[in-house]
Amino acid sequence: MMERDKWYYPANGIHGKVVHEIGQEIVSGIIKPGEKIPDEVEILRRFQGSRTAIREALRVLTAKGLIEAKQRAGTRVRAREYWNLLDPDIIAWQSYDPSDRNDFRNLVETRVLVEPLVTRLVAQRATEEELDQLEDIYLAMTVADEKESLADFYPACVNFHMTIYEICHNDLLSRLSGISQSLCDYHFKLKQPGNIYVTGMSGFYLEILKLLRSRNAEGAEQAMQSLLDMKVTDLRELHSEKQMATNSNLGKLPLN
């Protein structure tokens, strides 16, 4: 299996912390396009790092298309059209709390369009050994299903979807796996407070696995499409409830 973290910038060390925290603040809109990011002195004070580490982090954010340094103008956030939106880190940062309607819609639409096609390719290209690995993940899901444990089912569920991308044998499509992982993470985050669990979820994955085993590419694609349609409907409802609660709380804030 592939090393899934290899496409993400390491979060360890001061430079990694700066990349991820400043990057997330930009993508989430805390620092908006056209605005200056904190200057080097302020970043040094905040992260307690060396100038070398801070500058390396800013170079990474520049390479992702998020910021641009100009003489006398400082370092500012670039317009969204210049961002590398398929960068795995930017995808992940969008999903932490996708309050922007377009960010959420873009992630959902892309997953619904891409993942069924990836599943079709798995039916056509995956080796028996790779399908064995997928079956092991399914078995872990059944154990979680029996316990009705969201905490146990979630990592197995993510693992199943990520493995689908890994064994489709298309390097470009594999790079889009971060979109599915990000939405899975966000979905779990929304379900976790109430420990919302739907009994029998592993059955949907068994159907997909059987179709993959029989090399029924069209059937596997349709089964994944049906599963995602159900998941997206639930995710959109939870997301809408969260947005309504957030707006309601904002309305209760004192005006002074």
- Asked if residue 215 and residue 152 are part of one domain, the reply reads yes
List the CATH number of the domain containing 207.
Answer: 1.20.120.530
List the CATH number of the domain containing 64.
Answer: 1.10.10.10
Q: What digits encode the pLDDT tens for the residues 130-177?
A: 999 999 999 999 999 888 888 889 999 999 999 999 999 999 999 899
Distance CA 40, CA 114 (A): 40
| Residue at 89 is within a domain | no
| Residue at 148 is within a domain | yes
Place of tokens 């596997």: 220
Cα torsion 55, 61, 65, 69: sign: negative
Q: Which of 47, 82, 117 is the last residue of a domain?
A: 82
Which residues lie below 8 Å from residue 233, measured CB to CB, with a gap of 6+? none
- Asked if residue 35 and residue 143 are part of one domain, the reply reads no
- Segment 17-23 mean pLDDT: 95
- Asked if residue 165 and residue 200 are part of one domain, the reply reads yes
Distance CA 166, CA 187 (A): 21
pLDDT of 256 over the 80 cut: no
For residue 42, the enclosing domain spans 4-82
- Asked if residue 238 and residue 123 are part of one domain, the reply reads yes
Distance CA 144, CA 156 (A): 8
- Asked if residue 165 and residue 59 are part of one domain, the reply reads no
Q: Are 2 and 40 in contact (CB under 8 A)?
A: no
Q: To the nearest 10°, the Cα dihedral for 86, 190, 11, 101?
A: 40
- Asked if residue 59 and residue 124 are part of one domain, the reply reads no
- Asked if residue 130 and residue 21 are part of one domain, the reply reads no
| Residue at 133 is within a domain | yes
Q: Are 120 and 220 in contact (CB under 8 A)?
A: yes
What was the pLDDT predicted at 98? Answer: 60
| Residue at 30 is within a domain | yes
| Residue at 90 is within a domain | no
- Segment 53-82 mean pLDDT: 93
Distance CA 110, CA 86 (A): 11
What was the pLDDT predicted at 9? Answer: 86
| Residue at 88 is within a domain | no
Q: Which of 43, 59, 82 is the last residue of a domain?
A: 82
Q: What digits encode the pLDDT tens for the residues 69-121?
A: 988 788 999 999 999 988 989 988 887 766 666 788 889 999 999 999 999 99
pLDDT, averaged across the chain: 88
Distance CA 130, CA 168 (A): 10
| Backbone torsions φ then ψ of 27, nearest 5 degrees | -65, -35
At position 173, the amino acid (one-letter code) is: L
